[in-house]
């Protein structure tokens, strides 16, 4: 952090007290001002309670995917709204106390400072109140949906922000002996800009709205506009202390400033990344800000002379690899520039071979370049003509292809040769050079098997276009076609069997995972059926899949099925479901974890995230340039970051 020099002894002298890092990218943060505890939640729906010294008091998984969250000022109640309009009330240690269905299309949530009530705003132009026991306490209509809600701590009053640009004051009226609550909008003022953070002092006399380029707008509790503070940037967060003597402001450009209650700048700095969450201590002693990359920083506004504590780890010791539980924020072990311009990186194709550990990349020049696990450049194959870029791997081998040419690399001897074989519009390629050779499909209707030297063993003309291709070490070839057929050929190219599926639903196909009692597995997407087949194609078992699939891969001893929204389900070779994950975006690649479990690798903004199927983060990295294509294997993960190939080994300390 770059701090501005003090101009006089009266000016602030802020100093970072501690930094902690969440497992996954940070999603939200709240400060329980009375308890002094920071509550945070991340993109993997993990919850964190951090004490005033930066130690993790509690870490737990949420009951489901978090849409909105808030915490009481005394830290006794955490309220979460999740997918499916679920309301979860948790105690301060994240033990589930109550669960119930709440209003449809929830848009905002607020918890009373003492943990007595929860308010939930909905896109249905309605706000509902719930007691701490999750019983419905009341409701009231609004003219437009309220995207933010906030209880005023010292009086029965709320403020809210309309989704279409307004601020409203809401009077709260107790009703009856059972804790019922009524709300009534007593004023409504239009705003002329979009809105970031809504905050208020303890008495509500200073209501602040971060209005981006329109600065920080200030209102009184009677709804009267009282002016604006302008910092020269786009204000995203503005938070006062309890009495309104100081105000913390962050901008989208990455500035953090501390203002006096009158709006004078007392101190300002530029953060390494913009803050996506900001909280202020009730007494104005410190601020806490969070960044999307997962860092949460406490900044003491009056330096005490003690050194800042290092980034927190699970054991409390400092580490160059910030750790919480088993997750790590990592940097590449090495990088190597492979393209001259960053916009060419998106067109690169990567592959990882585990035996021996090698990383291959084809760029816009259609030349396969091989790297060792240590980052050493081991060679570059000759350029191949044609369009399209395909890389396939097998133990000891890597093949690069276009629609017209194939380059086969012997990784053990570090030799490359271009196959002297005439091709026209290669669409499918599978390789096992040591036992099978190469399986090829041209123009989707001509199947063939060739030797590693480029000699055809057999060819076959097909009546229906090929959907998928698989080969095995025994020399058998299997294809699925657009008319719903699975067809198997023996090593000599003669039909060895077939299975008829749904005519309008061509199946995805893989060679069954290692250790399976079957030879092939198929997946019909719309019919949502997974099947195991013996070597002749006969159906040995069927298993339902709960949703339509997008991807189908063999990962170690598992067959992994992926839905369009990223949900993943692993099956063993007998069709039994092993593990299932939630939809967190479509993964870019899969690899094996230390216990042989499938791990998914996905890009999420500036983050590269490796997690298990349930979403638990194994590690993540924050890219300092645009993230491009990704490939993974048991030995590690390769990714394009800007113009460079980056390598993350499977072990953080190889």
| Span 440-459, pLDDT tens digits | 999 999 999 999 999 999 99
Specify the pLDDT at position 583: 64
Segment among 184-198, 221-235, 311-325 with least mean pLDDT: 311-325
E strand segments, 419-547: 426-432, 437-442, 446-450, 456-461, 466-471, 477-481, 485-489, 495-500, 507-511, 520-524, 529-533, 539-544
Specify the pLDDT at position 3: 40
Which residue would you say has higher pLDDT here, 318 or 395? 395
DSSP per residue, 468-497: EEEE-TTS-EEEEETTSEEEEE-TTS-EEE
Cα gap 380→360, rounded to integer Å:
10
Specify the pLDDT at position 325: 41
| pLDDT tens-digit map of 586-634 | 889 999 888 888 999 999 888 999 998 888 888 999 998 999 999 999 9
Cα gap 648→621, rounded to integer Å:
9
CA atoms within 13 A on the CB side of 266: 20
Residue 248 has pLDDT above 90, yes or no: yes
Alpha-carbon distance values, 511 to 43, 401, 436, 568 (Å): 34, 21, 13, 19
The b-or-e profile of 161-173 (16+ CB within 10 A means b, else e) is bbbeebbbbbebe
Residue 1 has pLDDT above 60, yes or no: no
Alpha carbon 579 to chain centroid, angstroms: 19
Average pLDDT, the chain: 90
Specify the pLDDT at position 321: 34
Asked if 286 and 292 touch (Cβ cutoff 8 Å), the reply is no
Average pLDDT of the residues in 149-158: 95
Residue 511 has pLDDT above 70, yes or no: yes
| pLDDT tens-digit map of 31-84 | 999 999 999 999 989 999 999 999 999 999 999 999 999 999 999 999 999 999
Residue 5 has pLDDT above 80, yes or no: no
Cα gap 68→125, rounded to integer Å:
17
Average pLDDT of the residues in 338-361: 93
Residue 139 has pLDDT above 80, yes or no: yes
The b-or-e profile of 218-234 (16+ CB within 10 A means b, else e) is bbebeeeeeeebebebb
State phi, psi for 37 to the nearest 5 degrees.
-100, 145
Specify the pLDDT at position 323: 39
State phi, psi for 345 to the nearest 5 degrees.
-65, -35
CA-based angle 599:603:609, to the nearest 5? 45
Give the pLDDT band (50/70/90) at residue 584: low
Does the pTM of the predicted model rise above 0.95?
no
| pLDDT tens-digit map of 389-434 | 899 999 999 999 999 999 999 999 999 999 988 899 999 999 999 9
For the chain, report the end-to-end CA distance as a whole number of angstroms: 31
Percent of the residues in the chain that have a pLDDT greater than 70, as a whole number: 93
Specify the pLDDT at position 327: 56
Query: Smallest Cα–Cα separation from 644: which of 375, 253, 322?
Result: 375
Specify the pLDDT at position 264: 92
Place of tokens 């639903």: 505
Q: Are strands 136-141 and 390-394 parallel, antiparallel or unpaired?
A: unpaired
């Amino acid at each position: 952090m770059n701090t501005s020099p003090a101009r006089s002894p009266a000016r602030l002298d802020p100093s970072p007290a501690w930094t902690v890092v969440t497992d996954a990218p940070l999603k939200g943060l709240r400060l329980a001002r009375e308890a002094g505890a920071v509550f945070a939640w991340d993109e993997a729906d993990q919850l964190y309670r951090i004490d005033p010294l930066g130690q993790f008091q509690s870490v737990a998984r949420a009951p489901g995917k978090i849409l909105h969250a808030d915490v009481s000022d005394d830290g006794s109640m955490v309220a979460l709204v999740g997918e499916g309009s679920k309301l979860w009330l948790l105690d301060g240690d994240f033990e589930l106390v109550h669960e119930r269905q709440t209003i449809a299309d929830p848009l905002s949530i607020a918890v009373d400072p003492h943990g007595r009530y929860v308010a939930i705003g909905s896109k249905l132009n309605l706000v509902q109140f719930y007691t701490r026991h999750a019983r419905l306490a009341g409701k009231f209509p609004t003219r437009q949906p309220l995207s933010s809600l906030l209880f005023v701590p010292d009086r029965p009053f709320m403020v809210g922000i309309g989704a279409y640009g307004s601020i409203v004051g809401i009077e709260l009226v107790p009703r009856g002996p059972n804790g019922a609550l009524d709300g009534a909008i007593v004023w409504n003022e239009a705003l002329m800009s979009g809105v970031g953070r809504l905050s208020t002092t303890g008495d509500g006399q200073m209501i602040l709205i971060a209005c981006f380029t329109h600065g920080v707008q200030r209102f009184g509790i009677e709804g009267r506009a009282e002016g604006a503070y302008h910092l020269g940037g786009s204000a995203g967060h503005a938070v006062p202390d309890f009495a309104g003597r100081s105000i913390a402001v962050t901008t989208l450009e990455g500035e953090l400033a501390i203002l006096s209650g009158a709006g004078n700048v007392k101190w300002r700095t530029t953060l390494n990344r913009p803050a996506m969450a900001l909280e202020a201590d009730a007494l104005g002693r410190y601020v806490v800000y969070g960044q999307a990359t997962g860092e949460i920083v406490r900044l003491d506004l009056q330096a005490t002379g003690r050194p800042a504590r290092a980034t927190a780890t699970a054991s409390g010791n400092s580490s160059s690899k910030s750790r919480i539980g088993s997750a790590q924020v990592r940097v590449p072990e090495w990088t190597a520039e492979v393209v001259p311009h960053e916009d060419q990186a998106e067109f690169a194709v990567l592959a990882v071979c585990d035996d021996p550990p090698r990383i291959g990349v084809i760029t816009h020049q259609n030349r396969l370049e091989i790297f060792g696990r240590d980052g050493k450049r081991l060679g570059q194959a000759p350029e191949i003509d044609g369009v399209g870029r395909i890389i396939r791997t097998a133990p000891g081998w890597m093949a690069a292809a276009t629609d017209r040419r194939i380059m086969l690399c012997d990784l053990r001897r570090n030799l490359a040769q271009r196959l002297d074989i005439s091709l026209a519009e290669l669409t499918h390629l599978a390789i096992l050079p040591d036992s099978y050779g190469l399986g090829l499909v041209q123009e989707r209707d001509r199947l063939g098997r060739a030797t590693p030297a480029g000699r055809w063993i057999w060819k076959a003309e097909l009546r229906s276009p090929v959907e998928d291709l698989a080969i095995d070490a025994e020399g058998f070839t299997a294809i699925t076609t657009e008319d719903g057929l699975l067809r198997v050929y023996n090593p000599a190219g003669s039909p060895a069997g077939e299975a008829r599926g749904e005519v309008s639903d061509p199946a995805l196909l893989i060679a069954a995972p290692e250790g399976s009692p079957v030879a092939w597995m198929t997946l019909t997407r719309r019919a949502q059926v997974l099947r195991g087949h013996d070597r002749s194609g006969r159906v040995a078992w069927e298993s339902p899949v709960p949703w339509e699939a997008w991807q189908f891969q063999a990962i170690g001893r598992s067959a992994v099925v992926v839905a369009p929204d990223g949900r993943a389900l692993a099956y063993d070779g007998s069709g039994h479901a092993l593990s299932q994950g939630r939809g967190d975006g479509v993964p870019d690649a899969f690899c094996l974890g230390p216990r042989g479990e499938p791990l998914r690798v996905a890009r999420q903004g500036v983050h590269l995230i490796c997690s298990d199927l349930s979403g638990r983060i194994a590690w993540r990295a924050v890219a300092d340039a645009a993230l491009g294509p990704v490939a993974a294997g048991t030995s590690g993960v390769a990714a394009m970051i800007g113009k460079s190939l980056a390598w993350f080994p499977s072990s953080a300390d190889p």
